[in-house]
Amino acid sequence: MESSIVTTQPLFRGTTDRVARRLLGKIVAVGSGKQIAAGIIVETEAYLPANDEACHAHSGRTPRNVTMFEGAGKLYVYSIHAGYCMNVVTEQEGNGCAVLIRAIEPVAGIKLMKKRRGKDRLIDLTSGPSKLCQALGVTTKLDGINLLETKSIQIGTSSSIRIRKFDVVVTPRIGISKATELPLRFFVDRNPYVSGLKRLHSGKTDRPLHV
DNA sequence: CTACCGATTGACT
DNA sequence: GTCAATCGGTAGA
């Protein structure tokens, strides 16, 4: 069921906010065989190349954010507090922008994710940017990797995973102190794994994407 | 070198 | 609801 994720270059093409929207409903899979862990992306945020004070690249290159300037399709992983956050770099080389993956719905490797997280309930595995990195085993070792070339981590579609039709909700980004008004957070309406304030959903959060 | 600070999480009132 | 632990990155002396 976790077989062959199809990753295509057009998936990461276009403006950062468009890519953030497009990544909803796509599969992210890390590892292979018995050690695979995977989920469906249900929440993202866009960090723009210009006029975005919340973007790590806003003040130019630093050792941490170099990957953000390496063009669409690179994986940008950084450490924050006691964990990691993973992003898909967007747009052309030199722009400095990315899409943060904030939440996924688990679909494969649940046992492995529970072990890595030290939690047993599904809702505690991947309902936040640092949680999902821990569940998937993503660290800064994967920073800078090219998603179009590697098999260590794959983001795309899978013919063996059926995705339910879904509505998208757009809100300001959360957890930041600058540029807090820009509507650059995208999430799957009513999906229980979305992080943050659940009252922003249109109804009960009981609608998994995996069917 | 020291000091400050998060694109967070989890424990607690 | 509030709040502190945590640690690598960053800026500044």
Q: Which two tokens mark A90? A: 């967007």
Neighbours of A148 (CB within 10 A): 16
Q: Helix, strand or coil for residue A117?
A: helix
Kindly tell me the burial class for residue A202, based on how many C-beta atoms sit within 10 Å of its own C-beta (0-12, 13-18, 19 or more).
Answer: exposed
Question: Model-level pTM?
Answer: 0.97
pLDDT in tens, A8-35: 999 999 999 999 999 999 999 999 999 9
Which residues are within 7 Å of strand C by their Cβ atom?
A: A 56, 59, 62-65, 78-79, 81-82, 140, 197
Q: How far is the CA of A205 from the C1' of C3 (A)?
A: 27
Neighbours of A59 (CB within 10 A): 10
Q: How far is the CA of A208 from the C1' of C11 (A)?
A: 44
Cα–Cα distances in angstroms (integers) from residue A50 to residues A15, A17, A177, in the given order: 12, 12, 17
Q: Which nucleotide is nearest to A197 (CA to C1')?
A: C1
CA A88 to chain centre: 7
pLDDT in tens, A144-153: 999 999 999 9
pLDDT in tens, A152-162: 999 999 999 99
Q: Which two tokens mark A152? A: 């260590």
